[in-house]
A and B are shown apart, each in its own frame.
Chain A
Amino acid sequence: MNAVLQAKGLCKTYIVNKRQNNVLKNVDLTVDEGEMLAIMGPSGSGKSTLLYCVSGMDRATSGNVVFNGRDTTKLRERELARLRLEEMGFIFQQMYMMKNLSVLDNIILPAVKSKKNKESRRQTEERGRALMHRLGIADVGGNDINEVSGGQLQRACICRSMINSPKMIFADEPTGALNRASSDEVMNELLSLNRDGTTVMCVTHDPKVAAKCSRVLYLVDGGIVGEKDMGHYEEGGRTLRDRERELNNWLMEQGW
């Protein structure tokens, strides 16, 4: 398998009140194409920071990140922005959206901004609608963002992250603000995307969510202390319950 993302010696240090806080300590990480990776760990272990540093949303203090063959630590801000726009997708715990745009307009905005996209505005809109249809929210496209439920909004965020057919989707606690039913729906969508070839890296606290991923990394105090290969979901005949049990046992061993 080709590695889509490689991080080496990644460090991130914050200075708070003249005190040095090393959030990431020499993290090495490789994510293969088509993988669905979960990052787990206790609060404050540096999971989200790792996600932001490898995705180019934040700059690491040291170390380098190669995404799709390009060293993102050496890219200028503008190039990094373009990379995020055209080759990456993001999903956050909070369903952040532009307040003054409808749900559909929020979804197609990255495509409209992308120089790679040669479609007409109408074609882009159609594509946005098709994505919404696929995620079961076709009927809320014209709605304002306050007119839809949290689950629908998060699925809209997934649509937005997919609109430019990214190589990889970065999800920071994508189900953290959702109830169980909505959480399952969102995870099923991510699984479906992954099945279609999109690499997914997902930070989560929830073993149920992580159990659907193919690999789980466990972070403590800014360093990866454990790694578990779970195999692709629905492969090997194991039920979700089995995967969850297996993962929980492993997590217990890690000190979860």
Chain B
Amino acid sequence: MFWRILKKDLKRKRTMNIILLLFIILCSMFASSSLNNIAAVTGGLDRYFDLAGVPDIMITINGESDTEEKLREMPSVKEIKKENLLSLPSSKNFTYKGKKLENFINPAALLADDEVAVRCFDKDNILIEDVPGGCFYSTRPFVQNIDISEGDYVDVNVGDTSVKLKYMGIFKDAVLYTDNASLPWLLIDRSDYERLSKEQETHDLDTTKLYLKTDDPDSVRELAAGHDNVYITERSEFKQIYLYDMFAAYIMMAVSIILMITAFVVLRFTIGFTISEEFREIGVMKAVGVSNISIRSLYIVKYLAIAVIGAAAGFFASIPLSSMMLDTVSKNIVLSGSSGTMTGLLSTAGVVIAIMLFCFLCTRSVNKLSPIDAVRNGQTGERFRKKSLLHLGRSKLPATGFLSVNDVTSAPKRFSIITVVFTLCLLMMTLMSMFALTLQSENLRRLFLIPASEAHIMDADMMMDYLGDNDTEEKLTELEKTLSDNGMPGKCTITLTKNFDVNHGDKKLKCLCAVTSGHTDEILRVDEGSAPRRDDEIAVTESTMKELGVGIGDRISFEYGGREQEFIITGRFSAFITSGIYLNKNYRPENESFGGCMGIQVHFDGSPDKETIGKNIEKLKDILDTTKIYTTSEYVKTMTDMSDVLTAIKHMMMILTVIVTGMIVILMERSFISKEKSEIALMKAMGISSGSIIGQHTLRFVIVALAACAAGFALQMPVGNLLMNMVCRFIGDVEGIVCDVDIFEVFVVCPLILIGVTAIGAFLTALYTRTISAADAASIE
């Protein structure tokens, strides 16, 4: 009998069962892909490093050195791999479509495929084992800002040699800095490498890289410290270069979590809704004496069957979804889905368990209800709570509008849940828009520790000049004179950086030290305390404070300007660095050279408008003979290199939102029609037209979408700022970031997408009410 009832139920309530199945597929799909994404992102970098075979230490040798021989003699060094790099000084050594390239700043490095020490992967995360002759792969900086496609040819011209190479796509190398601002790398065949290496110019930089496996890094560090031209990078330091990539990955993780919550909220609602449909049958079964356990088992078995089928289908659908989502954020990292199958299966099992739990909770009321309560809660329309809050007689709304509003207010729980789901969908779009805009916002300038400026000179040659010499101030004054002579007076600054071993008591910490040289009245903005104003004062980041166990007023020391100096901590600042320190402005001893800088900043006098800034930048490009001068927003965008990725995620979110919202609206509306069949038939019998009924059904979803927009508007700034600051803390010690908002996109485009999809989805589904005729009023159960 049990199976007969079950079989009959599955057949008779086919529509609702199919709707439930579709929701379970949706939920399982999102849960599986979301968990897979979370698993891929969490610890993803370590897995990538293992996959690529990243060594314990990488040693870069510029010029002649006996370091290699010494390392080979060290017993603690287990393995050494060596890469000899060729270099091409400028982007102008490359010709594409008859034009010399001007799209990257730094010299390009060439690597032979048979000498690769760290495993490289193509854009599809497939291991590159061999590069065919006459072909090349490149890192992203090489192809940025040029419209190159796979199969296109690039001429490499150096000295008297010219080699035509076919572009095979980008490659990912775990230890090569693949940010836009970094060195472009080309992976080529040995034969092409040999042809180019004949030109002396390719050996000018004379760089060798050694990759070591060792259990005694201290002795390697000691060895490197004795050489001026030997630089050491440890495995932990490589992680720093992926901070911005991980930023996008964490954003994706946050989005995945929102998706998963959405899926479970919808599922919980649907199960509750479908079980409420069964109350009449439950009442009848109770009335004829079927035990509570038997009734509950009937539904639990039914839902288990649907859940297993739906979850399995959802698992398979999650594979392409997860891969699509991860591809968006893993342009530089192989975020492997290798654990995806296991994670997917676990999450699928999780979905089944969650459904059973929901079902168990929803059927709990079977125990409490008397047979007649159950029957009255069913489709007869009788119930025990007053629902109508509005009165048609007193309302100014047209009848259709009134009925829609009344439906929404009469079922607040049902429509609130849909509002929550829609709000989450809207937030996914608007937050991505805000994040993408913020990551190219001038407001982030302070987090790169640069003072107020409108133009940023990123020309590698110019920057190198400022790094090495101690006459930075003179050069900046000279640059200011050039500006003034050309009718665009301004002040110039440069923020230099270098790593120092900072001490406090017996604690040591490698910190990135920044100092701004040049002419600016701006002082560092601190979150706590005050900015350094004397040469023995210093500001530090939160991580530095924590790692060294220091606070404002404490003293720290490090070797600066050739002697151990002590600094008093005066403040705490935010920046896109973790362990950071910031020195008093212009405090740069003569004998201290710096390894990096944040570009050369120009602050034009007289607060020029955007148009003038643009013209000044163009003029400056001509004067300095470089194309690498950016506005602040372009500068932030280049430095974070995440804006485009987040824009891609935003577009993906828009598509996903359209799909999710559309599906939810269609399935919800279809289930509402199924539940409200009697009322629809009655309305038709009374003479209310199909158009009016369709309008009513569409309008109530539009009302919910409008409510979701209102909730979204109220939540997006606090939630956006909270998430942005949370995610940015993965990159550096930052706080107080306020997201930028594209008012048109956030307040017009995104809400219109939500409302549009909702209205269209509800309207098309509500057309189904036309199949219900007035005569059905006579055959309502």
* A→B interface (CB under 8 Å): 48, 52, 56-58, 77-78, 81-86, 88, 90, 92, 94, 96-102, 104-105, 108-110, 112-113, 121-122, 124-125, 128, 142, 144-147, 160, 172
Given A99-B381, A101-B392, A146-B384, 10 more contacts at CB 8 Å? A57-B778, A58-B773, A58-B775, A82-B689, A94-B780, A98-B403, A100-B411, A113-B692, A122-B394, A142-B391
Q: Are A124 and B780 in contact (CB under 8 A)?
A: no
Whether A160 contacts B686 in the complex (CB less than 8 A), given A58-B773, A100-B407, comes out as: yes
* Min C-beta distance of A76 to chain B, whole Å: 10
Q: Are A78 and B687 in contact (CB under 8 A)?
A: no
Q: In this assembly, does B678 line the interface, its C-beta being within 8 Å of a C-beta of chain A?
A: yes
* Min C-beta distance of B370 to chain A, whole Å: 16
Cα separation A125 to B392 with both chains bound (whole Å): 9
Cα separation A31 to B780 with both chains bound (whole Å): 28
Q: Are B684 and A172 in contact (CB under 8 A)?
A: no
User: Within B744-781, which residues are at the interface with A (CB < 8 Å)?
Assistant: 773-775, 777-778, 780
Task: Note all chain B residues with C-beta closer than 8 A to A98.
Answer: 403, 679, 682-683
Task: Note all chain B residues with C-beta closer than 8 A to A145.
Answer: 381-382
Q: Are A84 and B686 in contact (CB under 8 A)?
A: yes
Give per-residue flags for B649-680: 1 if the beta carbon is below 8 A from chain A beta carbons, else 0: 00000000000000000000000000000110
Q: Are B388 and A57 in contact (CB under 8 A)?
A: no
Task: Note all chain B residues with C-beta closer than 8 A to A108.
Answer: 392-393
Binding site of B, secondary structure by majority: helix, strand, loop or mixed? helix
Q: In this assembly, does B406 line the interface, its C-beta being within 8 Å of a C-beta of chain A?
A: yes
Q: Are A105 and B678 in contact (CB under 8 A)?
A: no
Task: List 10 contacting pairs A-B, 8 Å CB cutoff, sorted by A.
Answer: A78-B691, A85-B688, A96-B777, A97-B381, A99-B381, A99-B383, A100-B410, A105-B392, A110-B686, A112-B392
Task: Note all chain B residues with C-beta closer than 8 A to A57.
Answer: 684-685, 773-775, 777-778
Q: Are B778 and A172 in contact (CB under 8 A)?
A: yes
* Min C-beta distance of A255 to chain B, whole Å: 25
Whether A92 contacts B393 in the complex (CB less than 8 A), given A99-B381, A99-B383, A102-B388, comes out as: no
Task: Note all chain A residues with C-beta closer than 8 A to B775.
Answer: 52, 57-58
Task: Note all chain B residues with C-beta closer than 8 A to A48.
Answer: 778
Q: In this assembly, does B387 line the interface, its C-beta being within 8 Å of a C-beta of chain A?
A: yes
Which residue from A83, A96, A100 sits with its C-beta under 8 Å from B678? A96
Which residue from B388, B682, B687 sits with its C-beta under 8 Å from A85? B687
Q: Are B387 and A100 in contact (CB under 8 A)?
A: yes
Closest to A113 in B: B399
Q: In this assembly, does B8 line the interface, its C-beta being within 8 Å of a C-beta of chain A?
A: no
Task: Note all chain B residues with C-beta closer than 8 A to A86.
Answer: 687
Give per-residue flags for B324-353: 1 if the beta carbon is below 8 A from chain A beta carbons, else 0: 000000000000000000000000000000
Q: In this assembly, does B690 line the interface, its C-beta being within 8 Å of a C-beta of chain A?
A: yes
Task: Note all chain A residues with C-beta closer than 8 A to B387.
Answer: 99-100, 144
Which residue from B386, B686, B692 sits with its C-beta under 8 Å from A90? B686
* Min C-beta distance of B384 to chain A, whole Å: 7
Task: Note all chain A residues with C-beta closer than 8 A to B388.
Answer: 100-102, 105, 144
Give per-residue flags for B120-153: 1 if the beta carbon is below 8 A from chain A beta carbons, else 0: 0000000000000000000000000000000000
* Min C-beta distance of A14 to chain B, whole Å: 11
Q: Are B778 and A52 in contact (CB under 8 A)?
A: yes
Q: Are A122 and B393 in contact (CB under 8 A)?
A: yes
Q: In this assembly, does B396 line the interface, its C-beta being within 8 Å of a C-beta of chain A?
A: yes
Q: In this assembly, does B395 line the interface, its C-beta being within 8 Å of a C-beta of chain A?
A: yes
Q: Are A58 and B687 in contact (CB under 8 A)?
A: no
Cα separation A226 to B536 with both chains bound (whole Å): 116
Give per-residue flags for B673-713: 1 if the beta carbon is below 8 A from chain A beta carbons, else 0: 00000110011111111111000000000000000000000
Q: Are B682 and A97 in contact (CB under 8 A)?
A: yes
Task: Note all chain B residues with C-beta closer than 8 A to A52.
Answer: 774-775, 778
Task: Note all chain A residues with C-beta closer than 8 A to B384.
Answer: 146
> Chain B CB within 10 Å — which of A58, A83, A124 has the most?
A58
* Min C-beta distance of A95 to chain B, whole Å: 9
Q: Are B686 and A109 in contact (CB under 8 A)?
A: yes
Task: Note all chain A residues with C-beta closer than 8 A to B382.
Answer: 145-146
Give per-residue flags for B627-656: 1 if the beta carbon is below 8 A from chain A beta carbons, else 0: 000000000000000000000000000000
Q: Are B393 and A146 in contact (CB under 8 A)?
A: no
* Min C-beta distance of B680 to chain A, whole Å: 10
Cα separation A58 to B774 with both chains bound (whole Å): 7
Which residue from A83, A97, A99, A125 sits with its C-beta under 8 Å from B393? A125
Give per-residue flags for B400-433: 1 if the beta carbon is below 8 A from chain A beta carbons, else 0: 0011001100110000000000000000000000
Cα separation A142 to B410 with both chains bound (whole Å): 15
Which residue from A81, A121, A160 sits with its C-beta under 8 Å from B688? A81
Cα separation A77 to B694 with both chains bound (whole Å): 14
Task: Note all chain A residues with C-beta closer than 8 A to B688.
Answer: 81, 85, 109-110, 113
Task: Note all chain B residues with C-beta closer than 8 A to A128.
Answer: 393
List the 6 closest A-B pairs by CB distance, nearest first.
A85-B687, A125-B393, A84-B687, A100-B410, A58-B775, A105-B392
* Min C-beta distance of B386 to chain A, whole Å: 5
* Min C-beta distance of B372 to chain A, whole Å: 13
Q: Are A90 and B410 in contact (CB under 8 A)?
A: no
Q: Are A112 and B383 in contact (CB under 8 A)?
A: no
Cα separation A10 to B593 with both chains bound (whole Å): 104
Q: Are B679 and A99 in contact (CB under 8 A)?
A: yes
Task: Note all chain B residues with C-beta closer than 8 A to A124.
Answer: 393
Cα separation A77 to B687 with both chains bound (whole Å): 10
Which residue from A56, A88, A147 sits with its C-beta under 8 Å from B386? A147
Which residue from A92, A101, A121, A147 sits with its C-beta under 8 Å from B406? A101
Cα separation A144 to B391 with both chains bound (whole Å): 11
Task: Note all chain B residues with C-beta closer than 8 A to A58.
Answer: 773-775
Closest to A98 in B: B679
Cα separation A98 to B777 with both chains bound (whole Å): 12
Task: Note all chain B residues with C-beta closer than 8 A to A112.
Answer: 392, 399, 402
Task: Note all chain A residues with C-beta closer than 8 A to B402.
Answer: 112
Q: Are A90 and B685 in contact (CB under 8 A)?
A: yes
Cα separation A99 to B689 with both chains bound (whole Å): 19
Closest to A101 in B: B388
* Min C-beta distance of B427 to chain A, whole Å: 30
> Chain A CB within 10 Å — which of B383, B395, B396, B685 has the most?
B685
Closest to B402 in A: A112
Q: Are B682 and A82 in contact (CB under 8 A)?
A: no
* Min C-beta distance of A121 to chain B, whole Å: 6
* Min C-beta distance of A87 to chain B, whole Å: 9
Cα separation A84 to B685 with both chains bound (whole Å): 7
Task: Note all chain B residues with C-beta closer than 8 A to A160.
Answer: 686
Which residue from A81, A88, A92, A125 sits with its C-beta under 8 Å from B778? A92
Q: Are A78 and B381 in contact (CB under 8 A)?
A: no
Q: Are A121 and B407 in contact (CB under 8 A)?
A: no
Q: Are B383 and A92 in contact (CB under 8 A)?
A: no
Task: Note all chain A residues with C-beta closer than 8 A to B692.
Answer: 113
Cα separation A24 to B775 with both chains bound (whole Å): 15
Task: Note all chain A residues with C-beta closer than 8 A to B678.
Answer: 96
* Min C-beta distance of B390 to chain A, whole Å: 8
* Min C-beta distance of B407 to chain A, whole Å: 6
> Chain B CB within 10 Å — which of A90, A96, A97, A128 has the most?
A96
Q: Are B778 and A82 in contact (CB under 8 A)?
A: no
Task: Note all chain A residues with C-beta closer than 8 A to B682.
Answer: 96-98
Whether A113 contacts B780 in the complex (CB less than 8 A), given A58-B773, A100-B388, A124-B393, comes out as: no
Cα separation A172 to B393 with both chains bound (whole Å): 28
Give per-residue flags for B271-282: 1 if the beta carbon is below 8 A from chain A beta carbons, else 0: 000000000000
Closest to B381 in A: A99
Q: Are A105 and B687 in contact (CB under 8 A)?
A: no
> Chain B CB within 10 Å — which of A77, A160, A172 has the most?
A77
Closest to A48 in B: B778
Cα separation A105 to B679 with both chains bound (whole Å): 14
Cα separation A56 to B689 with both chains bound (whole Å): 13
* Min C-beta distance of B305 to chain A, whole Å: 27
Closest to A100 in B: B410
Task: Note all chain B residues with C-beta closer than 8 A to A110.
Answer: 686-688
